[in-house]
Structure 1
Amino acid sequence: MKRILVIISALAFVLIGVFFVKTKQTQVASTEPFTSGYAKVLTNDCYLLKSPDKSSGIFLLEQSYFVKVLEVTDNLYFKVQYLQFEGFVEKSKVSFIEEFPKEPYLVGITFDIYDIGNVCLRNTPETLDNDMNILCTIKASTKDLTYYGKCTGEEAIKGLGNVWYYCAYQDEYGNLNKGYIYSALTRNLSAITSSNESLTLVSVQNFRPVDNLLYLNLSTKNILIILTALPTLFVLYLFVKPSKILNKKD
């Protein structure tokens, strides 16, 4: 009799779990639009910022790609993640999406250094008389520097524009440096194409970061609950099986 009660309790646990998840998901769906927590970059002037301040731009985010929203900073800014970077974006320049993007970030973009001479990687997009912002020197003809984005800065060479690339460079000793290179001293920048993921934009008024597991669809959640319960049911089966064998022997 006790064994039967244990089995009934285990089955009840599974059924209650499925019902609870369904009820909670229905409540969430009825009060707030569904979002994966990712937001699409809507404009071509959306900077990843060091702080919630327009003047603290690191580099421009490519329009049509995505950022992962970590928290709401205030009425104007989100704190976000982009690749390995954490920073801020203006709320007005992004929109939440419903789905999880397969390739949220622009990756695989590289460029080379001209053969003319060595160039400097700097921590700000400008040349200083005292060279205090130089991180390292990169040899002429160096290839395949990792490109993250561009920004406007000083027109270091008259007539060649004010665009700088924010990038990563690994030296011969394995040291990885990230900073700015004046774009006029580079060549062979990979072609940058827009994201072709057509995802659903949603308006979310009260965003609360939630673990990705909670954004799984209902069927997937139910399957996970059942799979979690299977080991318990298997142990119960092993617990009951010996008694059946003994009953047959009797």
Structure 2
Amino acid sequence: MTPWEGMRLTSAQVDPYRREWEAANRRALDGEGPLLGVLGDSAAQGIGAPTPFEGWVGQLQRRLEGIDGHRWRVLNLSVSGARAHTVMDEQLPRLWRVGQPVDLVVCAVGGNDMYRSTRRQVHDRFTRLLRALPAPGTWHGDQRTIVTTLPQGLGRRRAGIANDLVRTLGPQRGLEVADLWATTGPPWRGKYAEDMFHPNALGYGHWVDAILGTIRPDRRSLGGDLPVVGTR
């Protein structure tokens, strides 16, 4: 299969995956249990995985449930094609309007900012986003916010600008950093979707390893024992 044919396959996932997450979001808001709020782009929609729930968001939900035994609800506000400024301008306002406490916020965005954007735009967008994300304790004392670096495979210079901001400005605001760049290096054969851009389900599993890796072994969090990162 050529990358062009692969792009057609993953592009065909966009609308059905969006509809499935919209239905899942409605069920989540009507349910009970800790709430995970997700901000991001097509990766958070699960594009490239066999189903929307086998992307990193669905895998993270299941692994959180395995950690603390609670049934986690997911409010996935991501949109395919989103950039850092659209997360801030469109997705964050929706999160503030939820009307329920959010226990964990995870923001993973930036792939689309690497194209048709100047370095200055990347710097300004990520600075604004990192200053706008909910600080820990926004809804209650145990609430946390995790922001990811960009994975490898994107424009190194622009990704470096974004990642440097995530690693410096994020912790200054109390945000926890999941370093996708450090966990997505080669070899990555067998971990890409057919378009050779999005991860497949196996590749998304490595994203979850990085996100859960922000939970340090010297603390308890999320209502249960901490995982040993790297075990599945």
Q: TM-score, normalised by structure 2?
A: 0.25
- The structure where strand makes up a greater share of residues is 1
**Higher Rg of the two aligned structures:** 1
Which has the higher relative contact order, 1 or 2, with Cα contacts under 8 A spaced 6 or more apart?
A: 2
- The structure where helix makes up a greater share of residues is 2
Q: TM-score, normalised by structure 1?
A: 0.24
